[in-house]
Structure 1
Amino acid sequence: MNIDVLEKALKMLEKHPLCDHCLGRQFALLGYGIENDERGRAIKSVLALEAHALVFSKNEEGIRILKILATNGFFKTAKEILQKMKRRITERNLPKTCFLCENKFEIAEDLSKQALEQLNDYEYNNFLVGMELPLETEEREDEFRAEFEAGYAESMRNEFGRVLGKKLAALNEKAVEHKKPEVVVLVNPFTSKVRLQVNPLFISGRYKKLVRGIPQSKWFCSNCRGKGCEKCNWTGKMYVESVEEIIGKLFLEATEGLKTSFHASGREDIDARMLGKGRPFVIEISKPRKRFLNLQKLEKDVNVYAKGKVEISNLKFSNKDAI
């Protein structure tokens, strides 16, 4: 191992208590296929070997390094070497937590299980873990990296996200998706809080309006703006129903979503029909609990429910780009 790495790691440990993750993360760009905690343990192991060799050479510097590793490095091997040499470390002087992460990597497994418990209420194909870290924690890490010129470092945010993502993927057997995840698991390890950001489901198709007198979208009463009044017979709407409402109702029920948004390619007048091939539309369902839909069945159900007023066809799963 490059002696510059060892010297820099020792300087870090001389000043601050660091767990395996946080020490290894400062050299994350060195080597491939190694997790940061493994990298941190490897650095501490080599430092311990070098220090033990110095002790055999009657060099007291070895004892000093072993004490640093046993205390600020939380390194059991160094502590055992000192014990065999009858060198004591006062327990009350031992640091309790890592300077950077405050030992929060230790609860990664629990956070993953907490996330899985929430995810079990939803259908999804893929996910992404996002981190919510305290500002002071990230500022402390930035100052640390600047102080020690840690040019090979990875951020705590990145490592937490990767570690939790791997643990969660092993539990739910779902793929991690960075570009367009269906669900984002937002984790704050410093408060042990987990929450979900469930992204919308998009389904495209075509609709025909077979009768006149129905607006394309829900038309709120101009007098009460949807609150309900005498003018609108307390419905809050100028028209009893719309293409959007007729189509959206069963989509919302099938997905157990929060609400729907209707996006159509153009619009027709209220007193006009829409025939031919039909008008393209995309329906957006917010926070859907169900995504694994039988679109053929849903299409038939909507057409039966519409009672000859509206007819939909060519349903397929889509995305935001289609809007």
Structure 2
Amino acid sequence: MDLLSLTGRILEYGPICDHCLGRLFAKRSFGISNDERGHALRLSHALAENQRFSPYERGTCSVCMDLFTEIDVWAERVAAALAGIDHETFVIGTRVPPMIAESEEMLWSDFSLPDPEPLKSEMNREVGKAVARITGKRGETKNPEVTIILNIPEEIVEVQIAPVFFYGRYRKLERGIPQTHWDCRACRGSGCDLCGGSGKQYPDSVEELIGRPAVELFRAEGALLHGAGREDIDALMVGSGRPFIMEVLSPTHRGVDLKALESAINHSANGRVEVSIERWSARREVETLKSHKAHKTYRILVDIDGHTSLDEVRKALDALNGAVIHQRTPRRVAHRRADLVRERMVVQIECLGVENGRYLIEVVGEAGLYIKELISGDGGRTTPSLSEILGIPALVVTLDVTSVEGMPENGDE
């Protein structure tokens, strides 16, 4: 069936606006809008049939219910919703009422149309152009800073602000601070007498000490810390620090200087945590950070319960040097980890000396090696261990992480 005959059948099907008529043939011709295409089809059909031309009368479209007459209305709603949000790029999305979606799909099916454009696509584009004219901002489908959803059924605009990410290293200089926020075990975050109504198991975390100044400067809703592994709550993170990416949620201000942010965090943390912020990051880099199996270096102070000598300790450590360790999930974390036996390698281990009757040991371990259990044996769940080789109990008294490998050079690609 030729184009004008098909147009005639569609016009007989029911009232249809120029936008919806033009969308049915959206891939025909270029450089014109669907509105212009629909008007041209209507006019061409009248000429071909030698009929009186009848322009579309507003208020009668059986497909969109005249939604396209409200483009400027929706654009003004979007502009108002974006006021006060720092951004340069945006993208529009549309939530179409079920009745409208059903009407256009029925039309496509009844006429076996091969190349129609969905209503939401045109709405996204036309409202987006109008918003750009009003606000001076730029429509951008790839990594927009703000996503706006036109909720047509409820006649509201929903705004989703893309997070910002920055990459750096942190040093934890005080024991007893977890890496991330922990809900109170008793009330699970709702607040109770045991946690003083805070809902937290611990008053602070590395995540919160870094995140609070970031939330304030970015005028954001919150912040999430993604670390390259994690240290125990009673361990220090010293040396060059642990790589991390901070995800700042729904920032309404983006023009933050990273050096100023670094200074604000270090001042606020007051010596408990220190950060060095290196650069901006992106969501795709979070997975790279988490999946990178970095070697870690630990400095531990070990108490050995029984008579032994430095030479005996060093001989036992030689047996662990380069060894593959079989570790069943430690009892101390079994409540939150799968009960598995994991193989991890001791890359290097040596005794640096003796301090007040305890042995200062440095360990370089493969990612995932449980250091406390490497020393204690965890009741036979880790083998071999220093305790097993010596034949007497040994325990880690203090543990400091002194080095964590950074991401690969192409981590940001």
Which TM-score applies when normalising by structure 2? Answer: 0.65
Please name the residue that 1:9 is paired with.
7
Deviation (angstroms), 1:190 = 5.2
Please name the residue that 1:208 is paired with.
171
Please name the residue that 2:202 is paired with.
239
Please name the residue that 1:115 is paired with.
78
Alpha-carbon separation, structure 2, partners of 1:50 and 1:231: 83
Q: Is the 8 A contact 1:104 1:190 kept in 2?
A: no
Structure 1 position 272 matched with structure 2 position 235: yes
Please name the residue that 1:314 is paired with.
277
Deviation (angstroms), 1:316 = 2.6
**In the superposition, relative to structure 1, how do residues 235 and 131 fare at CA in structure 2: closer, same or farther (>3 Å)?**
closer
Please name the residue that 2:24 is paired with.
26
**In the superposition, relative to structure 1, how do residues 234 and 167 fare at CA in structure 2: closer, same or farther (>3 Å)?**
closer
Alpha-carbon separation, structure 2, partners of 1:146 and 1:233: 62
> Aligned partner of 1:255: which letter?
F
Provide the alpha-carbon RMSD of the alignment. 2.0
**In the superposition, relative to structure 1, how do residues 309 and 149 fare at CA in structure 2: closer, same or farther (>3 Å)?**
same
Structure 1 position 220 matched with structure 2 position 183: yes
Deviation (angstroms), 1:12 = 0.8
**In the superposition, relative to structure 1, how do residues 235 and 139 fare at CA in structure 2: closer, same or farther (>3 Å)?**
closer
Q: Which runs of 5+ in 2 are unaligned?
A: 287-413
Alpha-carbon separation, structure 1, partners of 2:87 and 2:143: 12
SS in 2 for 1:290: coil
> Aligned partner of 1:266: which letter?
G
> Aligned partner of 2:268: which letter?
Y
Task: Name the count of aligned residue pairs.
Answer: 286
Q: Is the 8 A contact 1:206 1:314 kept in 2?
A: yes
Deviation (angstroms), 1:21 = 0.6
Structure 1 position 74 matched with structure 2 position 56: yes
**In the superposition, relative to structure 1, how do residues 206 and 40 fare at CA in structure 2: closer, same or farther (>3 Å)?**
same
Query: Higher relative contact order by CA 8 Å / sep ≥ 6: 1 or 2?
Result: 1
Please name the residue that 1:259 is paired with.
222
Q: Is the 8 A contact 1:207 1:312 kept in 2?
A: yes
Which deviates more, 187-196 or 204-213? Answer: 187-196
Deviation (angstroms), 1:142 = 0.8
Identify the match of residue 126 of structure 1 among 69, 89, 114: 89
Deviation (angstroms), 1:183 = 1.4
* Higher strand fraction (1 or 2): 2
Superposed CA offset, 1:143-166 (max 9, x none): 111112222311111111111112
Q: Which runs of 5+ in 1 are unaligned?
A: 55-61, 76-94
The alignment-based identity, stated in percent, is 37
Structure 1 residue runs of 4 or more that deviate by more than 6 Å after TM superposition:
none
Structure 1 position 179 matched with structure 2 position 138: no
Structure 1 position 98 matched with structure 2 position 80: no
> Aligned partner of 1:243: which letter?
V
Deviation (angstroms), 1:125 = 2.4
SS in 1 for 2:42: helix
- The structure whose Rg is larger is 2
Which deviates more, 190-199 or 298-307? Answer: 190-199
SS in 2 for 1:11: helix
Identify the match of residue 48 of structure 2 among 47, 50, 65: 50
Which deviates more, 204-213 or 301-310? Answer: 204-213
SS in 2 for 1:22: helix
Deviation (angstroms), 1:105 = 0.3
Q: Is the 8 A contact 2:97 2:152 kept in 1?
A: no
> Aligned partner of 1:249: which letter?
R
Superposed CA offset, 1:246-301 (max 9, x none): 11111111122222222111111222221222111122222221122111111111
Deviation (angstroms), 1:167 = 1.5
Structure 1 position 304 matched with structure 2 position 267: yes
Deviation (angstroms), 1:224 = 3.0
Alpha-carbon separation, structure 2, partners of 1:237 and 1:204: 26
SS in 2 for 1:236: coil
**In the superposition, relative to structure 1, how do residues 144 and 228 fare at CA in structure 2: closer, same or farther (>3 Å)?**
closer
Q: Is the 8 A contact 1:128 1:176 kept in 2?
A: yes
SS in 1 for 2:29: coil
Deviation (angstroms), 1:36 = 0.4
Q: Is the 8 A contact 1:299 1:315 kept in 2?
A: no
Alpha-carbon separation, structure 1, partners of 2:159 and 2:240: 39
SS in 2 for 1:269: coil
Which TM-score applies when normalising by structure 1? Answer: 0.82
> Aligned partner of 2:81: which letter?
Q
Alpha-carbon separation, structure 2, partners of 1:152 and 1:239: 59
Which deviates more, 274-283 or 231-240? Answer: 231-240
Which deviates more, 103-112 or 229-238? Answer: 229-238
Q: Is the 8 A contact 1:126 1:175 kept in 2?
A: yes
* Higher helix fraction (1 or 2): 1
